[in-house]
Amino acid sequence: MKTSRLKPSACTACGHPCNAATDIFATAKPSAGDFSVCLACGHVMAFGADLRLRDLSPAERQEAAAHPQLRQMLAAHRRVRH
């Protein structure tokens, strides 16, 4: 796992602050277009060109729904939060 510090931004659904991202599957830093899951509410977003969080485009929503690692992360989030 690798944690990277980011410019402050907030979840687009619940407003929870975010200033870091951890890649739980590798040691990569986030890049524009990478998916992110809010730890507070589980909302799926993507990183923008400035690495701040943004809502998904319709095409990204379809991609996210089929993304195996993202599905694992969301299942783990549901288990922890409920």
19-28: pLDDT as tens digits: 999 887 777 8
Mean pLDDT in residue range 28-51: 93
Provide the percentage of residues in the chain whose pLDDT is more than 90.
71
Q: What residues pair up with 10 in beta bridges, in sequence order? A: 17
The pLDDT of residue 14 is 97
When pLDDT is cut at 50, 70 and 90, the band that residue 33 belongs to is very high
Strand ranges (E), 1-82: 2-10, 17-23, 35-37, 44-47, 53-54
Domain interval for residue 30 = 2-81
The pLDDT of residue 65 is 93
Domains in the chain, number: 1
- pLDDT over 70 at 30, yes or no: yes
What global pTM score does this model have? 0.87
Q: Is 26 helix (H, G, I), strand (E, B) or coil?
A: coil
